[in-house]
Amino acid sequence: MTLNKATKTDTHTPDLFIGIDGGGSSCRAKLLSSDGAITGCGFSGRANPVHGVAKTIESIIDCSQKAIKDAGLEQSAIRNITAGIGLAGVNLPSLYEKINHWQHPFKRMFLTTDLHIACLGAHAKQDGSVIIAGTGSCGISIVGSKIFSYGAHGFPWGDQCSGAWLGLQAISVSLLAYDDLGPQTSLCDRVCDALDTNPREIADKMSNQPSKEFAKLARLVFEEAKNGDAVAISVLEDGVGYLNKMARKIMATSPGRLSLIGGLRSELRPWLASDVQDYLVDPIESPEDGAIYFAKSKAGQKTSVVQIQT
């Protein structure tokens, strides 16, 4: 449905919003008109400014243009769109400033973290909490006007039990096994196969690679743990121990709801402690929906959401 079609049937032009969720591996956009008549979706590459502000902006533009096209609008409509953007990495003040001062093409742009929009979406802007486990990992709880956040410190020093962290551990234990300085593990062959290399050349393949390349190896840890490899199980138990601690800290803030989201949610869930699994609920809406709530709130619409301090 095009903007022209929409305006022909309405007495006034509906406001246009786009919600964008950017992380270490991909960027998603959802376009929505205030009357709900116009919708569109877009998908593009990685958008974590830690690994490049220029690439992040390119991905935001790319998925926006795809959503505009998907909605049947002219690309020039971007000038009429109010954008809510949640990005990994903008909890770092310097990166928040860089993206926030970008000469963007939107009518208005409001920036926050991927964690914030994920939580707003998962609980339809009501109180609640989320743990994201995708390329990175982090958690947030929003209770009344209080916000509690955990992790989101980045890779490789943080993001325990994220895809990137699991991939890094897979490489590390493989190299220890190769040198016979750690227990033998089926991960060593699996990692070499996945990287099409041998242990001596793993570093050659992985040097200066972004976190998403490490995250691609995470599935091997789950697969080999299921196959009974003791080292893979140990890696997962270490990582999940971190997520259990985070979940219990979040549960202690009484958020009412806790959703596990991100690319690893299905594979991780059965590894979590039973008290944590019992507390989990499915998210109501997507992070992109949360980004639209955020944009509407910041644009002065009736929708009001807790503002996160960045």
Binding mask 208-237 for a second copy (x = CB under 8 A): x-----------------------------
Beta strands in the chain (DSSP E): 16-22, 27-33, 39-44, 81-87, 108-113, 128-133, 137-143, 146-151, 258-261
Closer residue to a second copy, CB minimum distance, 150 or 271: 150
Among 207, 228, 274, 300, binds a second copy (CB under 8 A): 207
**Burial of 16 by CB count in 10 Å (0-12 exposed, 13-18 middle, 19+ buried)?**
buried
Distance (Å, rounded) from C-alpha 274 to C-alpha 74?
50
Place of tokens 């509906």: 14
Residue 93 is a binding residue for a second copy (CB under 8 A): yes
Closer residue to a second copy, CB minimum distance, 64 or 211: 211
Residue 70: count other Cβ atoms within 10 Å of its Cβ.
16
Which neighbouring-strand residues pair with 21? 28, 86
Among 86, 121, 128, 154, binds a second copy (CB under 8 A): 154
Residue 182: count other Cβ atoms within 10 Å of its Cβ.
15
Closer residue to a second copy, CB minimum distance, 202 or 221: 202
Binding mask 163-202 for a second copy (x = CB under 8 A): -----x--xx--x---xxx-----------------xxxx
The continuous run of DSSP H or E covering 252 comes out as none
Contacts to a second copy from residues 21-80, by CB under 8 A: 50
Per CB under 8 A, which region of 66-74, 91-99, 103-111, 267-275 contacts a second copy?
A: 91-99
Chain contacts with a second copy (rule: CB under 8 A) = 50, 91-95, 150-151, 153-154, 156-158, 168, 171-172, 175, 179-181, 199-204, 206-208, 242, 245-246, 249
